[in-house]
Structure 1
Amino acid sequence: MAASTIHSLQAAVQHREALLEAIAYCAKCFSSSVDWKLQIDDILKKLGEATLSNRTYVFEHNQGGNEEFFTSIRFEWCSPGTSAQLLTEELQNIPLKLVGYERWTSVMGRGEAIFGAVDSFPTEEIPLLEQQEIKSLVVIPIFVNGEWWGFVGLDQCDYARDWSASEVEALKALGSMMGMAIERKEYDVKLQTQFNELQRTNNELDFFVYSVSHDLRAPLSSLQGLINIAEKEVRPEEFMHYLGMMRTSVTKLDGFIKEVLDYSTNARVEISTQQIDFQELLTELFEQISNKSDTRLAKLKINVTEADPFFSDKRRLSIVFNNLLSNSLKFCDESKESTLIEVSIHIENSQALIRFKDNGIGIEAKFMDKLFTMFYRATDKSPGSGLGLYIAREVIKKLKGIIDVQSEYGVGTIFTIQLPSAVKQ
């Protein structure tokens, strides 16, 4: 075999290996999570150098009326000494069919490539290509979601090069990979848009709930004040009975609105951390509850042991603690001499173990697995809405903690909370 023939074969093998290496590089880029547009310059450079092309590029279509395709150059790489075409006005919004490229729309529209020496192309196609000093080219269609999106092309400007069938097939694989990368990006954009819209809707809903709840509470507060005044006057017993019914209804509605506000606050407001004085917080909450209900026979015992300061969101902790204290009073066992609520808090290694224990009526075992479900009420004893424990769990989850419950019917209930200390702000 002649030395020149051996040399030609070796060059062909090296050329094929370089092309396959470039295709593998492109495949790695397109399969990554990085936006394909951020990598396309490197991809076109790698492809151009591997194929010894003078110019590589990507065109993108936008469809006009009467199924006419308008195509524009979007990305380009050029070898040293090759004129760039990216800013060429004639390569923007080209009406392919109207400027003599109907063959291109037909061939690439069915997924095939256009390739060969320019002087062998139909006469109407040659002028625009010669303007760019192209001697031969190969253009590969890109399909996105089954639609012809555009094409990737390689120009040879130094001589009329022959593109082998294996080169064309390898480049068609590249076109398919690019199409899939574009599909994924469009899907990601669509998903992000839907997420943003959903987030906006949720924010608006939270704001609506928050605003309406405040507007509803204002007249209720006024009504409660009027009832307080009326009760101090000497009234017939029947009238006092009706006032009591009014108070019960207003209190129930006010409690429900407060729970809705608590839920909205937890979902809408950012976490704000500060050092927590558990003794002070629990005492303050218990006094507030005492002013609203008969707790003369209720006792609160608090035991706090802390090796380190504890930081968390005081407002959110207040929501949880208020709910647990209120429940202990609502579901007290009237057959017992007094209602006893014991709260123990142990803080160590930036973790708080909080335990609420009462001697109330307890919870039957059949209700335990539904206790933290929204609007679930295990008993008709209380006029509550069934939101309290659901909100308490959501708040604890927001604070990256967990809450659990143990109960024995007729004996009492224990709520256990494990909560990490937040970073001091």
Structure 2
Amino acid sequence: MTETLLLVLVVVTALAFDFTNGFHDTGNAMATSIATRALRPKVAVLLSAVLNMAGAFLSLAVAATIAKGLVDAGAISLEVVFAGLVGGIVWNLLTWLLGLPSSSSHALVGGVIGSVLAAAGTAGVIWSGVLSKVLVPALLAPVIAIGVAGLGTWLVARLTRGVSQAVTDRGFRWGQIGSASLVSLAHGTNDAQKSMGIILLALITAGAVPADSSVPFWVIFSCAFFMALGTYLGGWRIIRTLGKGLVEIDSRQGMAAETSSAAVILLSSHFGFSLSTTHVATGSILGSGVGMPGAKVRWGVAGRMLAAWGLTLPAAGIVGAVCFWVQHVIGGFLGTFLVFLLLVGTSLAIWVASRRAPVDHSNVNEEWDEEKGARLRPSVPTTGEVGDPQVGPVVEERLAPSVAPAISATTTNGSTGTDGERS
């Protein structure tokens, strides 16, 4: 009876990870389409959710890699699998709160490896599989994506020289809808399988299915559904960072970035690589900035993302190891249930923290001011003449001591017009 309850708890936690994977990675497919306004935000996440679910049924190669290619089956127990899932979920939620597009795939792999190391030591990890199936693709994928997207953007820019902005925007926005849909399909094909692999691993460990079993249909459907549900709710904080924080992007760049992302992700799924779709999508967006003459790339934001990528495997691994040790010290189902309660409490605390500065479909496209860290909004012209609204910074609390007095004085005493006279 205890073993059955533990298996149920593991399956529920795996589906919770799939849910976080969905909203954490929505931006990989739809951030550029939302940023260029090719799609309305709510329409974009609905389309992505449907295609994510469809993509989950197209391949099982990555699920086999997760279930059988990274850790020794003899070192696996349900407690180990559960602790690894907790490590992945906590890192996903923390990076979502910070708006950092880190890898859900690596969070899951890191959590499982950490819990296996705590349970069985280094002998429990298949290091050759980790190297060939996780680490090497993690290094190569963003570099390849930058190259493909950069070349594609440069070619598009050359071909559209002399064509009016209105014409290119209209045509390429339609193209973006198609390319973003392809990325969503590819994301479902690659990422939904990771939870499938974890659940299959748990079922094999519990003796519920044979060791050579394929993924049951109910597992495929459940993982596809929960990922689609998370996708529909929209990871707006990460969508904003990818769509507005990395590159000042137009529709030509968006289509080039999405097309290169889809090509790299689908190719990796074919070969069974546990690829990070976040690494690919981020690399493609950066490549679209590098390949577009005169485009602005915010390398400071990219640097923070790179730091998060480097921390993902060890940070999730540490959480996974600690969770296993807590279970081991307390012992039995009680230890696992206590860790589950800690996970629920941590998740609620992160959600409450996110409400202090909410990001949703209504403000995801606000202009990005990297230098001042302030949001921008249309403001009333200060010249007293009729004209288009100008853009000015919204002063947040952290800027108030230095900026607010100057703005207050200007608004109180009047402002200087364009001819140097007071309006």
Larger gyration radius, structure 1 or structure 2: 1
* Superposition TM-score, scaled by structure 1 size: 0.23
* Superposition TM-score, scaled by structure 2 size: 0.23
Higher-RCO chain (CA-CA 8 Å, sequence separation at least 6): 2
Greater fraction strand: 1
